[in-house]
Amino acid sequence: MALSAAEIERGVKHLRRADPVLRKVIRRAGPFTLKLRHDRFQALVFSILSQQISGKAAAAIRKKLMDRVGPDGLTPENMASLPIEELRSIGLSKQKASYIHDLAARVREGTLPLRGLARLPDDDVIEALVQVKGIGVWTAHMFLIFSLGRLDVMPHGDYGVRSAIQKLYALQELPDRATCHRIAEPWRPYASIAAWYCWRSLDF
């Protein structure tokens, strides 16, 4: 499902009115161009393998993984069939390989119905996802924003968002969860759009 252009326009207008700091970021960054990741299983696999490594290293592992699964693509069946040692040979740690096996098993068994998540409220999506080994609140927030297109998610645990808030609002240290949510209060109900502009501000 694509993000509604009309709703995005309303969100950007709201943020311009509600927050003078963000208004300057929006003016400089330009249009909101977030693209949804429609393959939900792949998005979760990529989130797990990207944890605690550089973007460059994650991209290299993603390429090796996609080369390994071939034309059949990244499916729960393919991932379940790949032994832990084979996943380790393309750069995944033993722990991350076990996380991906757990994810694949839950999707195959139906205990994590990825299609059905779109019908659930945000908190219920988070609760369902964090049952998977290796998936925490940060990964669940990224899934809500980039896979389900939820427009009012405040990813308070994301280092990029926290760093952007620190710089934009001239804070002496990285904001904690409470500070992030206090600053984000005027952004509601479009915190996801605001978070995207926070990420973009780091490019300036």
Q: Domain ends where: 99, 119, 146?
A: 146
Residue 25 belongs to domain spanning = 5-35+152-201
Q: Is the pTM of this model over 0.85?
A: yes
Q: Residues 117, 184: one domain? A: no
Half-sphere exposure (CA, 13 Å, Cβ side) for 27? 8
Torsion sign over Cα 20, 10, 137, 95: negative
Which residue reads 């994650």 in tokens?
58
- Please tell me whether residues 47 and 129 are part of one structural domain: yes
Give the domain CATH number at 45. Answer: 1.10.340.30
pLDDT attached to residue 172: 96
Q: Provide the pLDDT for residue 73.
A: 86
Query: 48 and 141 share a domain?
Result: yes
CA within 13 Å, CB half, 45: 28
Active-site residue 72, yes or no? Answer: no
Amino acid 70: pLDDT: 85
Is there a single domain that holds both residue 176 and residue 116?
no
Q: Is the peptide bond before 71 cis (omega within 30 degrees of 0)?
A: no
SS3 of 107, please?
A: helix
Q: Do 80 and 128 belong together in one domain?
A: yes
Crossing angle of the two packed helices 40-50 and 55-69, in degrees rounded to 10: 130
Q: Are residues 46 and 98 in the same domain?
A: yes
Based on the structure, what is the number of domains in the chain? 2
* Options 122, 158, 176, 203, the catalytic residue: 158
Q: How far apart are CA 21 and CA 23, in angstroms?
A: 5
> At 179, which CATH number?
1.10.1670.40
Render 151-192 in DSSP notation, one character per residue. Answer: S----TT-HHHHHHHHHHTT-SS---HHHHHHHHGGGTT-HH
One domain for residues 58 and 138? yes
- What dihedral do alpha carbons 44, 49, 50, 52 form, nearest 10°? 130
Clarify whether residues 116 and 56 are in a common domain: yes
Is the Cα dihedral 187, 135, 51, 74 positive or negative? negative
Domain co-membership, 97 together with 80: yes
Walking along the chain (204 residues) 10 residues at a time, the average pLDDT comes out as: 86 98 97 92 92 85 91 90 93 94 95 93 96 93 95 94 96 96 97 97 90
The answer on 163 and 87 residing in a single domain is: no
Straight-line distance from the first to the last Cα atom of the chain, in angstroms, rounded to the nearest whole number: 31
pLDDT computed for residue 130 by the predictor: 96
Shared domain for 98 and 158, answered yes or no, is no
Q: What CA–CA distance (Å, rounded) separates 93 from 47?
A: 14
Residue 59 backbone phi and psi in degrees, to 5: -65, -40
> What is the separation of C-alpha 49 from the centre of its chain, rounded to a whole number of angstroms?
13
Same domain, 139 and 83: yes
Domain boundary among 109, 125, 146: 146
pLDDT at 174: 95
Q: Which of 146, 161, 190 is the last residue of a domain?
A: 146
